[in-house]
Amino acid sequence: MKKLFFTSTVLLTGLLLAGCTPVKHEATHTETGFQVEKHSTHFHTKKHNSVAPKIDLHKKYKGFALTTVPEEYRGTWYRADPYSKKATKLVITTHTFNGYVTYRKTDPNLKLDHNSEKQNKEYAGNAVMISTDSGALKERGFLDTVDMSYKLGQFKGQDCLFMSYGTNPKAVNGVAFKDKKAALKYRKYDFSKVNQ
C-alpha cells in the first residue's frame, strides 16, 4: 500500500510540475477567429476567442520603420488543411500582414535576441518585419529566428502563394489561394512535391 501511495504521489507531482513548466509560445498572425502559434518550425491553429489586436500604424520600434507591402501580395488569400473543411483567411493590406503592422529593419547593426527579456518587452506588440528577397516576401516577428517565405505563383491555373519556412526556401510547406474554393479543393494535396 505504501509503495502504491508513493508511486501515485511521484506521478501526480510529476504531472503538476510538467503542467507548470514555462513554455515559450510566440503567437503570430491572427486569423479570423484563429490564432497561429509557432513552436520552433511547427505551425498549428487553435481556437482563439479574444479580440484581434488593435492596429497602430504610428507605433515606433527602435531599429525599425513602417513599411509598405508590395502590391502584388496584397489581398485576401485562403488556406485549408487536410483536417478541416473550412478555409482560413490570410489578409494582406498596404501596411498589415494578417492584422500585424509591417516594418522593415533599418539598423543593420541591431542585434536581436529572442532570449532577451528586455527585447521581448521592447518589441512586444502586433508587428512583424518583412522584406523582399529572391522573388519572395519574407515575414517574421522581430525576435523570431526563422522567416516565413511567400512566393507568388500558379497551381493548376490558380493564383497562389507558395509558403515555406525554415532553412530551405524552395521547400513548399503550404499554399494560400486567391480563390477559397481552390483552397478547399486542394486541402489534402501534398505540396511538398511541388518544385518552385
177-186 average pLDDT score: 96
Name the phi and psi angles at 140, rounded to 5.
Answer: -165, 160
| Residue listed under C-alpha cell 522573388 | 135
The pLDDT value given to residue 171: 86
The pLDDT value given to residue 53: 62
The pLDDT value given to residue 134: 81
pLDDT surpassing 90 at residue 103: yes
pLDDT digits (tens, 9 = 90+) for 4-29: 444 444 443 443 334 433 333 344 44
Closest CA to 78 of 70, 69, 64, 89: 89
The pLDDT value given to residue 60: 94
pLDDT digits (tens, 9 = 90+) for 121-155: 999 999 999 999 888 999 999 999 899 999 999 99
Q: Please tell me the distance from the alpha carbon of residue 94 to that of residue 46, in angstroms, as a whole number.
A: 27
pLDDT surpassing 60 at residue 44: no
Closest CA to 135 of 103, 161, 107, 155: 161
Percent of the chain scored above 90 by pLDDT? 59
Q: Please tell me the distance from the alpha carbon of residue 176 to that of residue 32, in angstroms, as a whole number.
A: 15
pLDDT digits (tens, 9 = 90+) for 51-94: 556 788 989 999 999 999 999 999 999 999 999 899 999 999 99
pLDDT surpassing 60 at residue 183: yes
The pLDDT value given to residue 196: 66
Closest CA to 57 of 24, 94, 9, 14: 94
Q: Please tell me the distance from the alpha carbon of residue 92 to that of residue 68, in angstroms, as a whole number.
A: 11
| Residue listed under C-alpha cell 502590391 | 71
Q: Map out the domains of the chain as residue ranges.
A: 2-191
Q: Please tell me the distance from the alpha carbon of residue 165 to that of residue 31, in angstroms, as a whole number.
A: 18
Q: Please tell me the distance from the alpha carbon of residue 150 to that of residue 140, in angstroms, as a whole number.
A: 11
CA distances from 179 to 27, 52, 90, 158, 174 (A): 26, 24, 12, 8, 15
The pLDDT value given to residue 115: 95
| Cβ partners under 8 Å of residue 96, min gap 6 | 55, 69, 102
| Cβ partners under 8 Å of residue 100, min gap 6 | 28, 29, 30, 53, 126, 127, 128
